[in-house]
Amino acid sequence: MAKTAVLGAGSWGTALSLVLHSNGNEVTIWSAMEPEIRMLREQHEHVEKLPGVKLPGDMIFTTDLAEAADGKDYLILAVPSVFTRSVAGQLASFVKPGQVIVCVAKGIEEDTLLTISEIVQEEIPVAEVAVMCGPSHAEEVGAGLPTTVVAGADRKSVAEGVQDIFMNQVFRVYTSPDVRGMELGGSLKNVIALAAGMADGLGYGDNTRAALITRGMSEIGRLALKMGAKYETLSGLTGIGDLIVTCESRHSRNRRAGILIGQGYTMQQAMDEVKMVVEGVYSAKAAMALAKKYEVDMPIIREVNRVLFEGRPAKEAVLELMLRDKRAEHSDLKWER
């Protein structure tokens, strides 16, 4: 049994706390919002973000970050990516050397172009930093539906420790040393999911969505490989697997926001309607900056940025993608004649 704290009491943090507890681990849930912690203490349920999923009576709920971190073997950092640096900065003075911080949010910081684990390592250098991601919606994890994810870390023993505390008969965890590939796949797929949602909102069909998924994976792959990611990661759970579920699922907040934008909502109106953090909006500019930095052509991500931040109608963005210059699907493949 490990002593664990889940930092962030949203739908994902709540669902993961249930997985940890079901495996016999001691679980503390922290949130900076007193009303949220009061709700969890009194009702043992996140009635707003994960209704119907009951939390056990022996979980500890707190707004005190020092209390949450004290003596814990694993700190699960589940706050939205836009709050990662601020929370990590507050947490730094409470973390002891060797404590493991598991980053489960997905995103790229716009100003620095750092991934979540890189931000945490910068803010808390004494910590052992790991990541966990893959095709995993909180609604299904909370309901106990079979789910498979990947735990990544620079050190094998750290990844295997994360695997040990989370893995059970309905939550399978693989390990990987390719932390960068995992995080890039998990972050950039949110931007592609916005595009897929926009197409759905415009009334387009399965053909369009399939094209966006496959060509979106091509864009993610070109950038990620140039940044040092491994092909195996991109073809696995945290690459194509995560992309498919985020572009297809009714639970996907990025797809939902994209649908609303395709129907004519502004970016802000769509985010207000979804009522949850839409990570793809925050990663879109960073993705475009990385494309420029590494000189990688990413037309889908470019058009998503134009729709989000330049007011371009989603229908015009789709036409731009369809009417680009003719080219081969894979430029590396050679003709025999």
Q: Active-site positions?
A: 189
For residues 102 and 13, is the Cβ–Cβ distance under 8 A?
no
DSSP 80: -
Q: Are strands 100-103 and 128-133 parallel, antiparallel or unpaired?
A: parallel
Q: How many helices, marked H, and strands, marked E, lie in the chain?
A: 16, 8
* Angle value at C-alpha 119, between 118 and 120, nearest 5 degrees: 90
For residues 128 and 155, is the Cβ–Cβ distance under 8 A?
yes
Looking at residue 266, its amino acid is T
How long a stretch of residues is the chain?
Answer: 337
Q: Are strands 147-153 and 60-62 parallel, antiparallel or unpaired?
A: unpaired
* Angle value at C-alpha 80, between 74 and 81, nearest 5 degrees: 90
